[in-house]
Amino acid sequence: MSSFYRNLDLVCHKNMKRKTAVILGSLIFFFNSTLSFANPNENVKDYRLSFNQKLNDFDPINADSLLATEISANLFSTLFTYRTTVGRADERVTDLLPGIAESWTVSADRKTYNFRLKKDFFFSNGRNLEAFDVKKTIERLAQPKYSENKFRWLFADFPVKGIKKYQEQIKKKSVNPDLEGVKVVDPQIVQIILDKPSPLIFKILALPQLAIIPKEELERKKTNFASQPVGAGPYYLEKSQKELIVLKKNPYYSNKEKVYPEKISYHFAATIENEFAFFNSGKLEQTGIPDQQMTEILQKEQMGRFSLNFPEMPAFNERKMSELIKEPKLISTFIGINQKNPLLKNLKFRQAINHAVNKQEIIAKDLSFKADELKGVFPENFPGVGINLSVPYPYNLNKAKKLLYETGVFDYNNDGFVEYKSKPVQLNLWFYDDPETEKVCQAIQKNLKEVGIKVNLKKSKDWDKFLKTVSAGNADLFHFTWKAKYPDPDKLFTPMFHSKNIGGTNIFSYKNNQVDQLLDKAYFIDDDEFRYPLYRQAESLIVADAPWLFLYQPVKYVKVQPYVYGLKLHPVFNNVVGNVYFSEKPFD
């Protein structure tokens, strides 16, 4: 990964000639019990998954759900993409790789980029992908209806030159609006000029919203593109019905030799229990695991030939040993601590409540093992995260009580609850209405009661009201989940922990001048090899300050049929099925 950015100083990136076939397909689609299914031991003519949510818009600009992102990655291609297979110890699935871009140059001031496109990229309509398509794709996203609203955050990290002028041209309905910062040098070279350097440009260009679309599709005044998309991905949309969506191999795809399944079909399953039942009857190639079956399946793995203890492993995908696959999600789940509360400003008190909560018990009993305990701010596999980290605040009741005593918090009247400055300690824990979240919060309430802290649960059924309560500093504690818009440490650290965002996305009123300095310095360094250590330093300081009650990172479990090999679970793309193959003969 570091060489990717270090080589930006070279005139041209000739060292990255490895073709990248990103064939993603975790499309979850509609199942009809009357359908007939092919013999699973034949070649992969159809790889079958399930889905449980409505999807009828396949325009990548609207890919704002996991399902839509998965589908977009199959139908479209981007200038850059993420590694989908790992071959060496220093490789990660969040490593950035060239996609449509073959090589590029960067000016000395880090503002001008010339991208040479691969010549063998074709849209599913058979036309060669060219620089004009890249320009039109970026210009569409820069239109005010997108760039001034839904994607304002994107252009903060992608400050294309002339965007305000372009927005005004669109508003005034100019005949030929032109985004000055995106130029077509020739059919194979596109130039992007920024107003200021951004270390995040390559990750921005890997977003599904910047998947390249044929310019003629974007120039049409009336279009049915959302239902009949044309992209340069490994598949095209063959069928979209209420209970079935089918993707078929794109015959023009440049890396088509790496795509094994002829089709990916997605069948509707209303619940995970339905999905599991369809899988067990041989109607799907993979399935998630219902909570009721999770413990039994994990016990079988531990009692099996290889004695696999899945809860102790951060990830697992070794088909020679098991049909069960585990992959962590790039999500951090925590209890936010509002430091506007005078008691919660006390570091030892925050550390005490961290030690008082039994995260492992919550994961086992309330989450059916579908999470791992957080080892810091970063979730596992996140770019920049350190290795061999330990849990920062392991469950330790005695240590929690000792820290409370040192804070001046004690049960002075022997009523089972602690007091602080002669007043009972009561905390309000807010959470958004969700059955699983409620169970977790009830467990935290019980744990804190064991050290004498009374917690009142406050459930909100209105998400906007919940956010307003938290942002206004009216919640002592609040259950929260954070997923970065794309995998870069800045997208987690700066919004949450930089003091400039207090009153906004820094909903803890957290301030540490040293953390601010590290985050500011890291943002202006291009090479991740030098950026990431600064974020790790910041993380150490943040963990020591305990602005969170560190909980867990959700994980995904998938079980595949005995004949399925090659499935990859990916923290960005979810199911990567392009390298899947079927084998009648199991490994010894």
Angstrom distance (rounded) from CA 217 to CA 213: 7
Task: Report yes or no on 84 lying in a domain.
Answer: yes
| Confidence at 587, pLDDT banded by 50, 70, 90 | very low
| Confidence at 388, pLDDT banded by 50, 70, 90 | low
Q: Which two tokens stand for residue 468?
A: 């307003």
Contact 195, 111 (CB under 8 A): yes
Task: Report yes or no on 322 lying in a domain.
Answer: no
Average of pLDDT values for 388-393?
84
**Whether residue 346 is found in the same domain as residue 243:** no
**Whether residue 363 is found in the same domain as residue 498:** yes
| Confidence at 25, pLDDT banded by 50, 70, 90 | very low
**Whether residue 503 is found in the same domain as residue 359:** yes
Statement: residue 26 has pLDDT above 50: no
What percent of the chain has pLDDT above 90? 73
User: Which CATH number goes with the domain that contains 522?
Assistant: 3.10.105.10
Task: Report yes or no on 276 lying in a domain.
Answer: no
User: Which CATH number goes with the domain that contains 69?
Assistant: 3.90.76.10
Q: Strands (DSSP E) along 233-362, which ranges?
A: 235-241, 244-249, 263-268, 286-287, 324-328, 332-337
**Whether residue 362 is found in the same domain as residue 509:** yes
Average of pLDDT values for 226-248?
94
Statement: residue 277 has pLDDT above 60: yes
The domain boundary residue, chosen from 207, 234, 249? 249
Neighbours of 101 (CB within 10 A): 22
The domain boundary residue, chosen from 249, 264, 282? 249
Angstrom distance (rounded) from CA 198 to CA 380: 25
- For the entire predicted model, the pTM comes to 0.87
**Whether residue 211 is found in the same domain as residue 83:** yes
**Whether residue 472 is found in the same domain as residue 350:** yes
Q: What is the pLDDT of residue 7?
A: 35
**Whether residue 211 is found in the same domain as residue 338:** no
Per the prediction, the chain carries an average pLDDT of 88
Task: Report yes or no on 581 lying in a domain.
Answer: no
Residue 230: name the closest of 396, 76, 118 by CA. Answer: 76
Angstrom distance (rounded) from CA 53 to CA 29: 8
Task: Report yes or no on 320 lying in a domain.
Answer: no
Contact 458, 465 (CB under 8 A): no
- Whole-angstrom CA distances from 436 to 173, 356, 366, 423 are 49, 20, 7, 33
Statement: residue 39 has pLDDT above 50: no
Which residues span the domain enclosing 469? 332-554
Cα 443 versus chain centre, distance: 27
**Whether residue 422 is found in the same domain as residue 549:** yes
The domain boundary residue, chosen from 249, 264, 283? 249
**Whether residue 356 is found in the same domain as residue 240:** no
**Whether residue 364 is found in the same domain as residue 474:** yes
Q: What is the pLDDT of residue 242?
A: 87
Task: Report yes or no on 289 lying in a domain.
Answer: no
- Choice among 210-219, 251-260, 361-370, 516-525 with the minimum mean pLDDT: 251-260
Average of pLDDT values for 426-436?
96
Instruction: Label residues 221-238 b or e (16+ Cβ within 10 Å = b).
Output: eeeebeeebbbbbbbbbe
* Number of domains present in the structure of the chain: 2
Task: Report yes or no on 324 lying in a domain.
Answer: no
Task: Report yes or no on 391 lying in a domain.
Answer: yes
**Whether residue 212 is found in the same domain as residue 78:** yes
- Whole-angstrom CA distances from 231 to 58, 213, 321, 326, 551 are 10, 6, 37, 31, 40
Residues 49-65: pLDDT tens digits?
A: 999 988 889 999 998 88
